[in-house]
A and B are shown apart, each in its own frame.
Chain A
Amino acid sequence: MITLQALTKRFGTFTAVSGIDLNVGKGEVLGFLGPNGAGKSTTMKMIAGYLTPSSGRVSICGHDVETDTIAAQTALGYLPEGAPAYGDMTPRQFLGFIAQARGFSGAEVKNRITAASAKTELDPVLDQPIDTLSKGFKRRVGLAQTILHDPPVLVMDEPTDGLDPNQKHSVRNLIRTMAAEKAIIISTHLLEEVDAVCTRAVIIDRGRIVADGTPANLIARSRHHNAVTLSLPLAQLAAAKATLEQQPYVASVEEGPRYDGAGLMTVFPRGHELIIESVSTLAQQQKWDVKELYAEAGRLDDVFRALTTHDTQRVRERTGVAA
């Protein structure tokens, strides 16, 4: 329902987004990841029709955003970065304006406001000026605005930014409940969010897609994928490490922190193989006093860091300022 074709945006000589191709269908919740300045917001602004692409095209439900803007924007619920709203209005007035701007009138305006504010738990503050609301409520006013017209496509730039863990939880629940019927793109810095709500994760860096898969897929690329961590008494640690390093299925062994006379050790498998059974059997044979033993699914931040670049480095490369 959302199609991006060779989408590119240049600002002067700087290319913010460079030839992105993407298709997001109904039922998908796509997590858009990337370091600050990677081009996430620029891409979302182009999808929403706020920025015109330098080249390439975006279509929403078959409507080209550039040539059929109004139809595309009608099918879209868009939460801009920072969830901007008119601070002098109350949420009720603000949502009323959004409803009218989206072509609703009469009782329908009221119904839409009631439904959207119930979903985003805004009811208690509906009649307070938005400027006086807490960050969490302000964000939810933005969310209510986004889902007010029950659009088939949602694009949200950092929907849970600034929310406390309880609020994050309810927003994620809200996204999950809407997921089946819609195509959703959310951008986020929070890797745990991808795990919690997304069916698909796309990592971009310097305006390019560097990874695209299910969260489980991406996690499997982590060096920690299927790595086994075990804790042993300090006396056995060195010998055990030597023995483990001899095993054909082990790529490397790293020592972790020590505490209470025991030390942690992480065993990295060759080629992401599942090695927990082999390690466990070996430990029994060798009669190690294993206190803990567990395998890891992997860490998304490993993958994130391996695939993306640091902003300082990016700016240096762009401006030619040496370290």
Chain B
Amino acid sequence: MKPVMAVFKREFAAYFATPLAYVFIVIFLLAMGAFTFYVGHFYDNGVANLSVFFGYHPWLYLFLVPAIGMRLWAEERRLGTMELLLTLPLPIWATVLGKFLAAWAFTGVALFFTFPIWITVNYLGSPDNGAIFASYVGSLLMAGGYLAISAALSASTNNQVIAFVVSVVVCFLFTVAGAPLVLDFFQLWAPVVLVNTISGFSFLTHFQAISSGVIDLRDLVYFGSLIALFLAINVVLVDMKKTG
């Protein structure tokens, strides 16, 4: 774990060495607030829960998480530090994992700063705090999923814009697979098994399941294996670049 920690520490500190971290956190919080209060009419609903707040998470992550992920490898390649990093005696998987964990921890920090809304809702009523906690866990796992996808795609190009756009598209597919719009379309003609499989690949389905307050092992396994899969793809993509 020592090599992972070395990479993790460098990466995590790098977020806060530049304005990136502060800009990101501020925009993240503003966007969360704007959607929850203005678009979602949090106060008007008159319900003491955070389902409105968490309902926007997948859609905000869709754009904000690839913005974090796009630089992970593309920037290293552009600055030439990739050569330095890959010639240090670190296993590639450790570098991939360290980078991912640092970025994930960073999104965790951003998510943590949404705590005032938890305080607010407790002040206004008596919400199901267990469900809220589960939703936070689910949200963090979902962010990890988006991030693993973005990181892997970042390794495939040295152009950050391409990395961002492709990540958003892939993340979008993983998100909408469970949206009613898509599922309704398939339900018209496809067998139930297929519909369930498609919805089973969606972040939305699993996130909503966790948000209901039940942290089911299946949902944990889903996010865990999705992250592992894309980290493995990430390792392969980085390794492939060595063949030129």
What residues of chain A have their CB less than 8 Å away from a CB belonging to chain B? 9, 11, 45, 48-52, 69-71, 73-74, 76, 78, 80-82, 84-89, 93, 97-98, 100-103, 105, 129, 145
Contact = CB atoms under 8 A, between A and B. Distances in A.
Given A49-B86, A50-B86, A52-B242, A84 B91 contact: no
A86 B14 contact: yes
Nearest to A94: B10
B242 A50 contact: yes
Interface residues of B, number: 25
A100 B9 contact: yes
Contacts, number: 78
B90 A101 contact: yes
A87 B75 CA distance: 12
Contacts of B173: none
A51 B80 contact: no
A66 to B, nearest CB: 10
Contacts of B86: 49-50
A97 B80 contact: no
Interface string B50-70: 000000000000000000000
A84 B79 CA distance: 7
A87 B242 CA distance: 24
B17 A103 contact: no
Contacts of A70: 89-91
B169 interface: no
Given A81-B83, A84-B81, A84-B84, 6 more contacts: A70-B90, A78-B87, A84-B79, A88-B14, A101-B7, A103-B2
A50 B87 contact: yes
B18 interface: yes
B7 to A, nearest CB: 7
B5 A100 contact: yes
Contact of B89 (A81, A93, A103): A103
A82 B78 CA distance: 12
B49 to A, nearest CB: 41
B83 A45 contact: yes
Interface in B73-131: 79-81, 83-84, 86-91
B84 A97 contact: no
Nearest to B91: A70
A81 B243 CA distance: 18
Contacts of B244: 9, 11, 51-52
Given A52-B243, A93-B13, A101-B7, A84 B88 contact: no
Nearest to B95: A101
A102 B84 contact: no
B6 interface: yes
A292 B159 CA distance: 61
21 contacts: A48-B87, A49-B87, A50-B83, A51-B243, A69-B89, A70-B89, A70-B91, A73-B87, A73-B89, A78-B87, A81-B80, A84-B80, A84-B83, A86-B79, A88-B18, A93-B13, A100-B2, A100-B5, A102-B89, A103-B2, A105-B2
Interface string B201-244: 00000000000000000000000000000000000000000111
